[in-house]
Amino acid sequence: MVEQLSFKHFYTVEHRPGEDEHVNYRAHKRKHIGESAECECIDCKCDPCECSDWRAPMGPDGGGHSTDKAERLGEAWSVQARLRQGRNARRNKAKTKLGRVRASRRFASPEKLKSRARRAAYKLFYNKITKGIPKSELSPQRKSEIEKRLQKPAFKGRIEKIAGKLVKDVRKKEMARKNKSADAKSAPAASPQKV
Protein backbone atom coordinates (compact mmCIF):
# COMPACT_ATOMS: atom_id res chain seq x y z
CA MET A 1 0.00 0.00 0.00
CA VAL A 2 1.33 3.46 -0.98
CA GLU A 3 1.98 5.82 1.92
CA GLN A 4 -0.09 9.01 1.83
CA LEU A 5 1.97 12.19 1.40
CA SER A 6 2.01 14.84 4.11
CA PHE A 7 3.65 18.25 4.42
CA LYS A 8 6.87 16.78 5.81
CA HIS A 9 7.54 15.08 2.46
CA PHE A 10 7.99 18.52 0.85
CA TYR A 11 10.87 19.80 2.99
CA THR A 12 14.18 18.33 4.14
CA VAL A 13 15.07 20.60 7.05
CA GLU A 14 12.75 21.64 9.86
CA HIS A 15 12.88 25.42 9.80
CA ARG A 16 10.97 25.56 13.07
CA PRO A 17 12.01 22.50 15.08
CA GLY A 18 9.40 21.18 17.48
CA GLU A 19 6.58 22.99 15.65
CA ASP A 20 3.68 21.47 13.76
CA GLU A 21 4.49 20.13 10.26
CA HIS A 22 2.20 22.73 8.66
CA VAL A 23 4.16 25.53 10.36
CA ASN A 24 7.42 24.02 9.10
CA TYR A 25 6.04 23.66 5.58
CA ARG A 26 4.93 27.32 5.46
CA ALA A 27 8.34 28.43 6.79
CA HIS A 28 10.02 26.33 4.08
CA LYS A 29 7.84 27.87 1.37
CA ARG A 30 8.55 31.38 2.63
CA LYS A 31 12.31 30.77 2.69
CA HIS A 32 12.71 28.91 -0.62
CA ILE A 33 9.79 29.87 -2.80
CA GLY A 34 9.28 33.42 -1.58
CA GLU A 35 5.69 33.05 -0.45
CA SER A 36 4.36 36.06 1.41
CA ALA A 37 3.77 35.45 5.09
CA GLU A 38 2.05 38.74 5.71
CA CYS A 39 -1.34 37.45 6.70
CA GLU A 40 -3.26 37.95 9.89
CA CYS A 41 -4.70 35.50 12.36
CA ILE A 42 -8.28 36.42 13.22
CA ASP A 43 -7.97 36.24 16.98
CA CYS A 44 -4.52 37.54 17.82
CA LYS A 45 -3.64 39.42 14.55
CA CYS A 46 -0.29 37.62 14.30
CA ASP A 47 1.61 35.65 11.67
CA PRO A 48 -0.23 32.29 11.48
CA CYS A 49 3.09 30.51 10.99
CA GLU A 50 4.07 31.55 14.51
CA CYS A 51 0.63 31.13 16.02
CA SER A 52 -0.73 27.81 17.21
CA ASP A 53 -4.21 28.83 16.08
CA TRP A 54 -3.49 28.60 12.31
CA ARG A 55 -6.40 26.21 11.76
CA ALA A 56 -8.91 29.00 12.46
CA PRO A 57 -10.55 30.19 9.25
CA MET A 58 -8.79 33.13 7.63
CA GLY A 59 -9.71 35.19 4.63
CA PRO A 60 -12.66 37.51 4.04
CA ASP A 61 -15.01 35.17 5.97
CA GLY A 62 -12.75 35.00 9.00
CA GLY A 63 -11.61 38.60 8.99
CA GLY A 64 -7.99 38.47 7.75
CA HIS A 65 -6.52 38.12 4.29
CA SER A 66 -3.06 37.80 2.75
CA THR A 67 -1.34 40.71 1.02
CA ASP A 68 -1.76 39.00 -2.36
CA LYS A 69 -5.53 39.04 -1.88
CA ALA A 70 -5.31 42.64 -0.69
CA GLU A 71 -3.72 43.56 -4.02
CA ARG A 72 -6.60 41.93 -5.88
CA LEU A 73 -9.10 43.74 -3.66
CA GLY A 74 -7.83 47.03 -5.08
CA GLU A 75 -5.58 48.31 -2.31
CA ALA A 76 -2.55 50.35 -3.38
CA TRP A 77 0.65 48.34 -3.80
CA SER A 78 3.67 48.93 -1.65
CA VAL A 79 7.10 49.37 -3.26
CA GLN A 80 8.02 45.77 -2.32
CA ALA A 81 4.78 44.47 -3.85
CA ARG A 82 5.51 46.34 -7.09
CA LEU A 83 9.03 44.91 -7.28
CA ARG A 84 7.74 41.39 -6.53
CA GLN A 85 5.08 41.76 -9.22
CA GLY A 86 7.76 42.86 -11.71
CA ARG A 87 9.92 39.85 -10.90
CA ASN A 88 6.95 37.51 -11.28
CA ALA A 89 6.05 39.09 -14.63
CA ARG A 90 9.59 38.60 -15.95
CA ARG A 91 9.66 35.00 -14.70
CA ASN A 92 6.32 34.15 -16.32
CA LYS A 93 6.70 36.09 -19.56
CA ALA A 94 6.80 32.94 -21.74
CA LYS A 95 3.59 31.60 -20.18
CA THR A 96 1.96 35.00 -20.56
CA LYS A 97 2.93 35.16 -24.23
CA LEU A 98 1.51 31.68 -24.87
CA GLY A 99 -1.72 32.64 -23.10
CA ARG A 100 -1.96 35.80 -25.19
CA VAL A 101 -1.58 33.79 -28.42
CA ARG A 102 -4.26 31.31 -27.34
CA ALA A 103 -6.61 34.09 -26.25
CA SER A 104 -6.13 35.92 -29.57
CA ARG A 105 -7.69 32.95 -31.39
CA ARG A 106 -10.96 33.32 -29.48
CA PHE A 107 -13.50 36.13 -29.34
CA ALA A 108 -13.39 37.82 -25.93
CA SER A 109 -16.13 36.94 -23.44
CA PRO A 110 -18.57 39.63 -22.21
CA GLU A 111 -16.77 39.70 -18.84
CA LYS A 112 -13.45 40.26 -20.61
CA LEU A 113 -14.94 43.06 -22.71
CA LYS A 114 -16.29 44.72 -19.55
CA SER A 115 -12.92 44.46 -17.84
CA ARG A 116 -11.21 45.97 -20.90
CA ALA A 117 -13.73 48.82 -20.90
CA ARG A 118 -13.12 49.35 -17.17
CA ARG A 119 -9.35 49.41 -17.76
CA ALA A 120 -9.78 51.91 -20.62
CA ALA A 121 -11.91 54.15 -18.39
CA TYR A 122 -9.34 53.82 -15.59
CA LYS A 123 -6.54 54.82 -18.02
CA LEU A 124 -8.62 57.77 -19.19
CA PHE A 125 -8.88 59.14 -15.63
CA TYR A 126 -5.26 58.21 -14.87
CA ASN A 127 -4.06 60.23 -17.87
CA LYS A 128 -6.33 63.12 -16.89
CA ILE A 129 -4.75 63.25 -13.41
CA THR A 130 -1.16 62.90 -14.69
CA LYS A 131 -1.86 65.36 -17.54
CA GLY A 132 -0.49 62.90 -20.13
CA ILE A 133 2.79 62.08 -18.36
CA PRO A 134 3.58 58.37 -19.05
CA LYS A 135 3.53 55.95 -16.11
CA SER A 136 7.20 55.08 -16.66
CA GLU A 137 8.21 58.65 -15.81
CA LEU A 138 6.26 58.77 -12.53
CA SER A 139 7.81 57.89 -9.19
CA PRO A 140 6.41 54.88 -7.29
CA GLN A 141 5.06 57.25 -4.61
CA ARG A 142 3.20 59.32 -7.21
CA LYS A 143 1.76 56.16 -8.81
CA SER A 144 0.59 54.95 -5.41
CA GLU A 145 -0.95 58.36 -4.63
CA ILE A 146 -2.87 58.38 -7.94
CA GLU A 147 -4.07 54.78 -7.45
CA LYS A 148 -5.34 55.64 -3.95
CA ARG A 149 -7.16 58.63 -5.40
CA LEU A 150 -8.77 56.52 -8.13
CA GLN A 151 -9.90 53.93 -5.54
CA LYS A 152 -12.13 56.50 -3.81
CA PRO A 153 -15.87 55.88 -4.24
CA ALA A 154 -16.41 59.10 -6.21
CA PHE A 155 -13.86 58.07 -8.86
CA LYS A 156 -14.97 54.42 -8.85
CA GLY A 157 -18.53 55.42 -9.71
CA ARG A 158 -17.35 57.67 -12.52
CA ILE A 159 -15.04 54.94 -13.85
CA GLU A 160 -17.91 52.40 -13.88
CA LYS A 161 -20.19 54.90 -15.64
CA ILE A 162 -17.63 55.63 -18.39
CA ALA A 163 -16.80 51.90 -18.66
CA GLY A 164 -20.47 51.16 -19.38
CA LYS A 165 -20.32 53.59 -22.31
CA LEU A 166 -16.99 52.23 -23.57
CA VAL A 167 -18.14 48.57 -23.79
CA LYS A 168 -19.63 49.07 -27.27
CA ASP A 169 -16.37 50.64 -28.54
CA VAL A 170 -14.35 47.79 -27.06
CA ARG A 171 -16.68 45.24 -28.70
CA LYS A 172 -16.31 46.99 -32.08
CA LYS A 173 -12.54 46.94 -31.70
CA GLU A 174 -12.61 43.20 -30.88
CA MET A 175 -14.85 42.44 -33.87
CA ALA A 176 -12.54 44.43 -36.15
CA ARG A 177 -9.55 42.49 -34.81
CA LYS A 178 -11.27 39.13 -35.42
CA ASN A 179 -12.40 40.16 -38.93
CA LYS A 180 -8.86 41.31 -39.76
CA SER A 181 -7.38 38.00 -38.59
CA ALA A 182 -10.02 36.04 -40.54
CA ASP A 183 -9.24 38.08 -43.70
CA ALA A 184 -5.52 37.49 -43.23
CA LYS A 185 -6.09 33.73 -43.04
CA SER A 186 -8.32 33.59 -46.11
CA ALA A 187 -6.29 36.02 -48.28
CA PRO A 188 -3.26 33.76 -48.95
CA ALA A 189 -5.52 30.80 -49.76
CA ALA A 190 -7.65 32.79 -52.22
CA SER A 191 -4.71 34.26 -54.17
CA PRO A 192 -3.63 32.28 -57.26
CA GLN A 193 -0.42 30.33 -56.89
CA LYS A 194 2.44 30.73 -59.33
CA VAL A 195 3.27 27.66 -61.41
The answer to whether residue 88 is domain-embedded is: yes
The answer to whether residue 102 is domain-embedded is: yes
The answer to whether residue 90 is domain-embedded is: yes
> Per-residue pLDDT for 52 more than 50?
no
* CB neighbour list of residue 38: distance below 8 Å, 6 or more residues apart: 47, 66, 67
- Domains held by the chain: number: 1
The answer to whether residue 118 is domain-embedded is: yes
The answer to whether residue 91 is domain-embedded is: yes
Cβ atoms within 10 Å of 11's Cβ, excluding its own: 17
Residue type, position 6, single letter: S
Axis crossing angle, helix 93-104 with helix 79-91, rounded to the nearest 10: 70
Residue 59 φ/ψ, nearest 5 degrees = 100, -175
Distance CA 85, CA 115 (A): 20
User: pLDDT tens digits, residue range 105-124?
Assistant: 888 899 999 999 999 999 99
Q: Domain range holding 84?
A: 79-177
Q: Which of 12, 17, 177, 195 is nearest to 104 (CA)?
A: 177
pLDDT band at residue 60 under the 50/70/90 scheme? very low
The answer to whether residue 183 is domain-embedded is: no
Distance CA 195, CA 90 (A): 47
63 against 103, higher pLDDT: 103
The answer to whether residue 46 is domain-embedded is: no
The answer to whether residue 74 is domain-embedded is: no
pLDDT for the residue numbered 34 = 56
Distance (Å) of CA 187 to CA 34, 121, 137, 172, 192: 49, 35, 42, 22, 10
Of all residues in the chain, what percent carry a pLDDT higher than 70? 67
* CB neighbour list of residue 7: distance below 8 Å, 6 or more residues apart: 21, 22, 24, 25
